[in-house]
Structure 1
Amino acid sequence: MKLDIYRRSEAEHKLSYLAVPSGQPIPQEADNVDWHVENMGAELDVSNGHIDDYAIDDPMGQIREKGYAITSVTHQVPEH
């Protein structure tokens, strides 16, 4: 599935990621000026229930439910 990936800096030098189907805007409830483009049109396998590179659990379930998938607060990624 092609996804547009955005990142946001969090507290304690961590990152969160937001994935939306490629070409679609970030849904209004998740739209935030802090999101920065990470990877546009990324071809990602969402069938295994987790996007490892972005620490997103159940991406297909999240996209079906709310139109986007986001990193869980408990899985935020350390900033390099």
Structure 2
Amino acid sequence: MKVDVYKRSEDSNLCSYLVVPTEKPLPQEVASTDWLVHELNVDFERDGKKHFTLNPEDAFHQIGEKGYAISHLDDRTTDTDAH
């Protein structure tokens, strides 16, 4: 699946990631927060490896449920460890 990846910096130098299927608009419920484009048109596959702190199976479940996937609070990473 091709996705667009957004990143948001948070307190304590942590960041979260949001993935949205490519060519889909940023969901309205997250559009008012400070998400910045990180990478566009990225291959996001169910390969067992984490992508942008997201577990692929969980991310695909989130995308199927709400149209996007977002890092869980416990899965945030420091800005320097991203990707």
Q: Indicate the TM-score class for this superposition, using the shorter chain for normalisation.
A: 0.7 to 0.9
Q: Unpaired runs of 5+ in structure 1?
A: none
CA distance in 2, matches of 1:60, 1:68: 8
Q: Choose between structure 1 and 2: higher helix proportion.
A: 2
Q: Choose between structure 1 and 2: higher strand proportion.
A: 1
Who is 1:9 aligned against? 9
TM-score (ref. length: structure 1): 0.88
Aligned identity (percent) is 37
Runs of 4+ in 1 over 2 A off after TM superposition: none
CA distance in 2, matches of 1:32, 1:74: 22
- TM alignment of 1:1-80, pairs within 5 A: 1-45=1-45, 47-48=46-47, 52-57=50-55, 58-80=58-80
CA distance in 2, matches of 1:53, 1:69: 11
Alignment size in residue pairs = 78
CA distance in 1, matches of 2:20, 2:31: 11
Corresponding residue SS for 2:29? coil
Q: Unpaired runs of 5+ in structure 2?
A: none
